[in-house]
Amino acid sequence: MNNENERFFLKNGEVIRQLTECLDVIVEKFESGKIPGDPEKSNAIYAVNQYLEAITDFKTKKQSILNRLNVRTSEPFEEKKAFIELAQKKHIIKALMRIGREKMILTDDPEMLNEELRILVDKGYCDEISISNGSRHYYILSEKGEQALRNKELLAKFRSEVSSAVMPATFVYEASNWTNLYLRRTEMIHKYFQINRNNVNHVIFTTDESKEMVFGCEIDNSVDVNYVFAGIFDERIEEHVEKIKNILNSGHIDQITILNSSDDGKIMLEQAGLEPGRYPQVQFEMVN
pLDDT digits 0-9 by tens, 218-235: 988 888 899 999 998 876
> Which CATH number fits the domain 64-178, given the four candidates 3.90.70, 1.10.10, 1.10.3470, 1.20.950?
1.10.10
| CB environment 67-102: b (16+ within 10 A), e (fewer) | eeeeeeebeebeeeebbebbeebeebbbbbbbbbbb
What pLDDT is attached to residue 4? 60
Q: What is the mean pLDDT of residues 153-162?
A: 79
Q: Residue 25: is its pLDDT beyond 60?
A: yes
Q: What is the pLDDT of residues 164-173, one digit of tens each?
A: 545 666 678 8
How would residue 159 be classed by pLDDT, with cut points 50, 70 and 90? confident
Q: What is the pLDDT of residues 75-133, one digit of tens each?
A: 788 999 999 998 888 889 989 989 999 999 999 999 899 998 999 999 999 999 998 76
How would residue 137 be classed by pLDDT, with cut points 50, 70 and 90? very high
Task: For residues 234 and 6, give the distance between their C-alpha atoms in angstroms, rounded to a whole number.
Answer: 9
How would residue 199 be classed by pLDDT, with cut points 50, 70 and 90? confident
What's the alpha-carbon Rg for the chain, to the nearest Å?
Answer: 24
How would residue 2 be classed by pLDDT, with cut points 50, 70 and 90? very low
What pLDDT is attached to residue 272? 87
How would residue 73 be classed by pLDDT, with cut points 50, 70 and 90? low
Q: Residue 181: is its pLDDT beyond 60?
A: yes
What pLDDT is attached to residue 74? 62
Q: What is the pTM of this model?
A: 0.74
What pLDDT is attached to residue 89? 87
Q: What is the pLDDT of residues 233-270, one digit of tens each?
A: 876 788 889 999 999 999 899 999 999 988 888 888 98
Cβ neighbors of 137 (< 8 A, separation 6 or more) are 69, 106, 107, 108, 128, 129, 130
Give the domain ranges of the chain.
4-60, 64-178, 179-288
Task: For residues 10 and 280, give the distance between their C-alpha atoms in angstroms, rounded to a whole number.
Answer: 33
| Residues paired with 286 in a beta bridge | 260
What pLDDT is attached to residue 218? 92
| Residues paired with 110 in a beta bridge | none
Task: For residue 152, give the DSSP letter.
Answer: H
Cβ neighbors of 69 (< 8 A, separation 6 or more) are 127, 128, 129, 130, 137
Q: Average model confidence (pLDDT) for the chain? A: 85
How would residue 71 be classed by pLDDT, with cut points 50, 70 and 90? low
Considering only residues 73 and 68, tell me which one the structure prediction assigns the higher pLDDT: 68
What pLDDT is attached to residue 221? 80
CA dihedral 200, 85, 114, 98 (to 10 degrees): -10
**Cα-flanking dihedrals φ and ψ of residue 282, to 5°?**
-90, 135
What pLDDT is attached to residue 1? 42
Cβ neighbors of 220 (< 8 A, separation 6 or more) are 200
Q: E-assigned strands of the chain?
A: 66-69, 105-106, 126-131, 137-141, 202-206, 214-218, 226-230, 255-260, 282-286
What pLDDT is attached to residue 167? 61
The answer to whether the Cα torsion of 209, 213, 216, 222 is positive or negative is negative
Considering only residues 189 and 65, tell me which one the structure prediction assigns the higher pLDDT: 189
